[in-house]
Amino acid sequence: MSRDVQPLSVRRDRASARSPWLPFSMLAVIEFITVLDASIVNVALPSIEAEFGFTPQALAWVVDAYLLAYAGFLLLGGRAADVLGRRRMYFAGLALFTVSSLVCGISQDAAQLLIGRGFQGLGAALVAPAALALIGDLFTVESDRNRALGIWGSMAGIGGAAGMVLGGLLTTADWRWTFLINVPIGIGVFIASSRLLPKIGRTTTSRLDLFGALLGTSGLCVLLLAITRAQDIGWLSGQSLTSFAVALVLLGAFVVRQLTAAEPLLPTHLFRRPSLALGNVVIALVGVLLFATFFVVTLYMQRVRGFSPLTTGLLYLPINASMWLGSWLAPRVIGALSPSGSLAAGLFLQGAGLAWWTSVLTVDGNFVFTFLVPAMLWCFGLGLSIVSAFVVCTSGVDAEVRGAASGLATTTYQSGGAIGLAVLVAVADSRTGELLAGPAGERPSEAAALVSGYSASLLVGVVVAAVGVALALLARRLTSATPAAPETATQ
């Protein structure tokens, strides 16, 4: 065994003598600011468009540049945390994220802003899986680890809500502050983490599969780019079909590489556990329900109800409080039902909330009954689902591959969200366009057509939730029937 690769118990220096909750608070802040950064910029887009003269299509890249880099590099970031050291990748990603935020905040033209956004996404892709893996290092007792994951998951809800509210407030001063706010937070977390986090080095002697990383990252980026652009240029256009074909070839080559490489980016023994394999499918469905539904609901509040961005953000506070409550209660539900059982329960509640929404959503009905209550039911189930899904995908994984497992779970989660967003928006637009193209005498108002489109997309969400419940229950059954084999670090 090399000098810098030692059992975690040997390397928990004096920082381990402290309570793990203090260093964990830094990891929770990281989850908060990465989610915050994905939502806070939405409110600032009109101001950015006015200053830099973006076209509507180009403006979308302010969001897409971050999301594509984030989702595309997560697999590499997760495995790099194992091979190069989780603490090292955590600080590298945090530093890159902070500096890139500064670049975005002081950018002088559109190109500088988009480059900064891309590097922001790369920084988030390095720091997020490292932070998630560090949670497993800090908490060796399962109940404590599940509780920590519950708090960590709730940061997504808090960050999403804060992004909407802070975006509205900061944009009134200057849109640049939506990026610059990350700089003092990032510096403060960097300094505090350097003192609080235990010095955990490399957990494996394996080398980083750079060729596999190139294939996987390229394939994911091309796939997500094709999905994003297909909404504007058409799903069956020549460019879309070509992009999908290239993505298929790259991802196919990535799978072959993982099956044949001596030290693959994703250790193949991870997939020998049925709960982990199914968990990664289900967490993609959870991503669909999170990203796509929030997007559709935000459009409903602003385009149909006519709420301002700031009012929309404030209305999200009780909704996200429900999500936080579901995340906070998740460890107790997991203890009572098992991780897979808790995941099934959360998805069932999401489906119930979405079905309620679909049946009562109107242009001007009672806002509490037709919107707020079903939204809170959906978000409570969402909070429960997110935490349970990450527990299913990371529990029982050896320290040597914990970063890879974390990166895989976060990748499928983010990719599911991107795919689901494209599909649900396409469903909503298709239904709305169909109604508005009808005979003049039978044509509904634009608001009524929008509501019908949004309801159709939410109905797709009900089907997604039902499929997720079935898969989660199957994972629970397989886990109960088959004793978990001990993990090894070899392929």
pLDDT per residue as tens digits for the range 95-117: 999 999 999 999 999 999 999 99
Region for 306 from its dihedrals, namely left if φ exceeds 0, alpha if ψ lies in -120 to 50, beta otherwise: left
**What is the token pair recorded at 326?**
């579901």
Q: What is the pLDDT, as a whole number, of residue 200?
A: 67
Q: What is the pLDDT, as a whole number, of residue 387?
A: 87
Given a contact cutoff of 8 angstroms between Cβ atoms, the answer to whether 190 and 91 are in contact is yes
Given a contact cutoff of 8 angstroms between Cβ atoms, the answer to whether 34 and 128 are in contact is yes
Given a contact cutoff of 8 angstroms between Cβ atoms, the answer to whether 401 and 206 are in contact is no
User: Could you say which architecture CATH assigns to the domain 1-208?
Assistant: Up-down Bundle (1.20)
Q: Interior CA angle at 105 toward 99 and 110, to 5°?
A: 110
Q: What is the pLDDT, as a whole number, of residue 56?
A: 59
Q: What is the pLDDT, as a whole number, of residue 438?
A: 72
Query: φ and ψ at 139, to 5 degrees?
Result: -115, 110
Given a contact cutoff of 8 angstroms between Cβ atoms, the answer to whether 104 and 120 are in contact is yes
Q: According to CATH, what is the number of the domain 270-480?
A: 1.20.1250.20
Q: What is the pLDDT, as a whole number, of residue 485?
A: 43
Give the Cβ contact number of residue 207 at 10 Å. Answer: 9
pLDDT along the chain (491 residues), means of 10: 45 56 88 80 79 74 81 82 86 96 94 94 90 83 79 74 76 86 93 85 67 85 81 81 93 87 75 78 90 80 79 81 87 89 95 92 85 92 90 76 77 82 81 80 81 90 95 84 45 36
> Half-sphere exposure of residue 489, counting CA atoms within 13 Å on the CB side?
15
Residue 303 burial (10 A CB sphere; 0-12, 13-18, 19+): middle
Q: What is the pLDDT, as a whole number, of residue 6?
A: 45
Q: What is the pLDDT, as a whole number, of residue 12?
A: 46
Question: 5: which strand partners?
Answer: 202
Nearest Cα neighbor of 269 from 82, 398, 179, 439 is: 398
DSSP string, 233-249: H-TTSHHHHHHHHHHHH
